[in-house]
Amino acid sequence: MMYRVFLIILLGLTFFSNAGAQWISRTVDSIRKVTEADHREMMDQLNITSLRPGVNGMDPKASNAANYNETKANPYPKLPDLLVMNNGKKVSTSRAWWEKCRPDLTGLSSWNLQHAILNTD
Q: pLDDT by residue (tens digit) across 65-112?
A: 887 777 777 777 777 777 888 788 888 888 888 888 888 777 776 666
What are the backbone angles phi and psi of residue 90, rounded to the nearest 5°? -75, 145
The pLDDT, as a whole number, for residue 91 is: 85
Contact partners, residue 62, CB within 8 Å, separation at least 6:
56
Average pLDDT over the chain, rounded to an integer: 77
Tell me how far the alpha carbon of residue 32 is from its chain's centroid.
20
| Interval 39-53: pLDDT, tens | 999 999 999 998 888
The pLDDT, as a whole number, for residue 41 is: 95
Q: For residue 20, name the pLDDT band (cuts at 50, 70, 90).
A: low
The pLDDT, as a whole number, for residue 52 is: 82
The pLDDT, as a whole number, for residue 71 is: 77
End-to-end CA distance of the chain: give it in Å, rounded.
73
pTM for the complete prediction?
0.37
